[in-house]
Amino acid sequence: MSSAKSPYPSAERLDLVDHLHGYDIPDPYRWLEDPADPRTGAWSGAQDELTAARLAALPGRDRLAARLRGLLDAGSVSAPLWRAGRAFLVRRTPGQEHAVVLVREPQPDGTTVERVLLDPMLLDPDGLTTLDSWVPDLEGRRLAYQVSRGGDENSVLHVMDVGAGELVEKPIDRCRYSDVAWLPGGEEIVFVRKVADGEVPAGEENLHRRIWRHRIGADTSTDVLIEGPGLYEDHNYYGVHVSRDGRWLVVSANVGTARRDSVWIASLDGDRTGELVPILTQADDVQAAAWVERDGLLHVLTTDGAPRWRLCVTEPERPQREHWRELVAEDPESVLEGVRRLEPPPGSDEEPLLVLVRARHAVAELALHALDGTPRGTVPLPGTGSVAGVSVADRDTPAEYGRLWLGWTDLVTPYQVQRFDRATGETVLVEAAPGEVDVPDVHTEQLEFVSADGTTVRMFVIRPATAPTGPVPTLVTGYGGFGITREPAYTPTALTWVEAGGVYALVSLRGGGEEGEAWHLAGNRANKQNVFDDLHSACERLVADGVTTPAQLAIMGGSNGGLLVGAALTQRPDLYRAVVCSAPLLDMIRYEQFSLGRTWNDEYGTADDAGELGWLLSYSPYHHVHTGTTYPAVLFTVFDSDTRVDPLHARKMCAALQHATAGDPDTRPVLIRRETDVGHAGRSVSRTVALSVDQLAFLAVHTGLELR
C-alpha cells in the first residue's frame, strides 16, 4: 500500500544495509531502536492513539473483563515452607492485586495463628511494586525478601524480623536475580549481588555478579567476597546453597542462559570459608543441581549421561564425577525435575524416603524411592496436571514428619495445596484456592501429532464440554525455548476463550524441556526451525481434524514465544488469521546488542559468526517481512520498563508490517499496544485483566468468536 493511503502513522524507511559475512541485511527502521529519538517518540505517540481507539471499539470488552476478573479471583495458595514449627506460604485472595507472604505459628494452647508478613500493596498502594523472591532463615525468625518497582526487576534486598514484623537490615541494592542462602543461626547470609557502577564497562553491570558473605545489620562494605577457581570468569548468574548443618557451601554458575552448570563446593567452619573445590565446569557440558542432604551426602541431580536427568551421590570431601554413585537412573519416558527427602511419621520405625518429582510428557508424577534408590511406589495425584512446589517438614518440625505438601494445578483447577500422608498412603486436598469460582464446563485432553520431520509432538487441548457442530475459532500458544516446560495449569485466558465457544491449545514444542534436554537441543540454535514447524503442524492438525479453519485460527506468544509467533506469521501468513505477539524478540541479527540479549546467544546463535548468522537470517521475523503480502491481523504488546526484551523489536516489526501488508487495515490491522510502569514479568491483577481483555478481544473479533 502507498504511504499516501496508509492509515498508519508515518515511519521513515532508511536505505540502510549492513554487510555481514557476505550477507546484505537491510534495516530500514534502525532509528526506531532509539526511544530518545524525537521520531520514535512521535511515532509511538501516534501509534498509542491509533491502538487505543481501535481496541476501545472492540465488542465484548466489558464481558471479558468481568469474566477474567472472576476467574482470576479464584486466587492462589502455595505449599507451606516449614521452619522450626512455623509455616511460611504465599496466598492471593479475591480482590487482592498481589499475593502476600504469610506465616502460620503454633500457639501454647495448641491452636495455630496465621498473619500477614509482607503485602506488596502496603509497600506501594499504586500496585507497581512486585515481590521477586523471599526465603526465611533456618530458624524461622528472619525473612529475606526482594522487591522491585515498575517492572524493571532491579530487586532490592530486605531482611525482616518475623516476630516483630520490622526490618533489621538496611536495603541492599543491585540484587537482580540474586540468590540468598542462610547460615544456621540467622546471623549471616551468602548472597549474590551485581557489581557496582564503575567496576565494569558501562552498560555491562547486568552481566557481572559476585558472591558475598554478609552479617545481618553490618555495613555491606564489610562483606567477605567468596572466591574460587574460575568463579568469576565469564559466568553471569549464580546460585548458592548452605547445608542445614552449616558445614558446606555449594555454588553453581552459568554463562548467560546456557544450559551448562559450573559447580563448586567449600567447607564452612565458623567465620572461615574453605577453598571452593570444582565439581563441574563449563567444559563438562552438563547441567546439575547439587546439595548436601541431612545424611551428610552430596546429592547431584544431573544430565551427565542422562538428558532426562538422573540422581547421584558422593561424599562432599570427594565431589568429583569419578566418585559419584548413581542412586536413581534416567527414566527414558519421564523427566526428573526435583528431589525431596521425606522422613517417617513420628514414632514410626519406617525408613526415610526420597520423593522424586517427575514429568511425563509435561504431566506431573511423584515417585517414592528408598535412600539406596530402590523404588517404593508412587504418590497419588489428583489428575493430569502440574506440581507447583513440593515441601516437607524441616529438621526442626518433627511433628509434621511423614507428610508431603504440594502445590497443585491443572487446566481447570486454580492453584491449591494437596498433602500426602505416608501413614495412609493418600493424597488429600488441604487448602483450595481461596476464592469461589465458577469454572466453565470444558473437556481437556492431550493429543499427539506428527511434525514436518516425522517427530511426534503433543499438545493440550481445551474444548467446550458440548462438542461444536463445526469448526470454531481456535487459539494456539506455546513457548519452545530455553528448555522451559509449559505444563498444564489453570489459565483464565484459556477458560474465557473456551467458555465463549472457542478451542484453546497449548503445544509442547521442541526447544522446551517437556521431553528432556534432547528435546530442548532439537529446537535451538541450528535447529530452531523445528520449533516453528511444530507450531505449523499443530495448527494444520487442528484444521485437518475439522476443529478450526485458517480463517478462525489465532496464535499468541510472549518473549521467546513472541519470536515463535513472529516467525510463524511471516512463514505461513496463509495459515493464521490473527496474532498477539507480546514482549517479543524479532530482529535476530541485532538482538545481542540490547538489554540481556548477549546472554541468550547460546540458545539462538550469534551474528558475529558467519554460520550462526545464517541460522538467524533463515527465520528472523523482521527480515522476512515482504511487501505485498496479506498478513494476519497483528497486535504487538510491549512494556516500556521491560529490561529483558527491548520494545524496539516490536516497534521495528510493527513499522515493517504496516508498510508491507496488503491486507485491509480495517479487517487485518497491525497495531502496537504500549504500556508503561510494567516490565517483562510480574504485574498486578488489574494490569493482567486490562492486558488480557485487549488481547482476547482483538483475537476474537478477527477470528469470529462471539464473546458471550
Establish whether 6 is a catalytic residue. no
Query: What DSSP string describes 161-208?
Result: ETTTTEE-S--B---TT--EEEPTTSSEEEEEEEPPTTSSSTT-GGG-
Positive or negative, the CA dihedral 313, 314, 316, 322 is negative
* CA dist 487 → 134, 384, 409, 512 (Å): 24, 10, 10, 11
Torsion angle, alpha carbons of 618, 621, 623, 624, to 10: 80
CA dist., res. 435 & res. 414, Å (int): 9
Angle at 556 between CA 673 and CA 480, to 5 degrees: 125
Among 214, 299, 680, 702, the active-site one is: 680
- State the CB neighbour count (10 A cutoff) for residue 679: 23
In angstroms, the CA 474 to CA 368 distance is: 40
| 536 catalytic per annotation | no
Catalytic residue among 76, 178, 451, 559: 559
| Integer Cα distance of 128 and 257 in angstroms | 27
Residue entry with cell 512463514: 571
- 413-448 burial by CB neighbour count: b if 16+ within 10 A, else e? bbbbbbbbebeeeebeeebbbbbebebbebebebee
Q: Is residue 593 helix, strand or coil?
A: helix
Cβ-based burial of 250 (10 A; exposed 0-12, middle 13-18, buried ≥19) = buried
Comparing CA positions, the residue from 161, 112, 156, 150 lying closest to residue 133 is 156
Q: What is the bridge-based pairing of β-strands 474-477 and 553-558?
A: parallel
Give every CB contact of residue 203 below 8 A, 6+ residues apart in sequence. none
H or E element that contains 91: strand 86-92
252, 286 contact by CB (below 8 A): no
C-beta atoms surrounding 466 within 10 Å: 10
Across-strand partners of 378? 367
DSSP state of 677: S
- The answer for residues whose C-beta is within 8 angstroms of residue 164's C-beta and 6 or more apart is none
264: helix, strand or coil: strand
Give the residue numbers annotated as catalytic, written as ranges: 559, 680
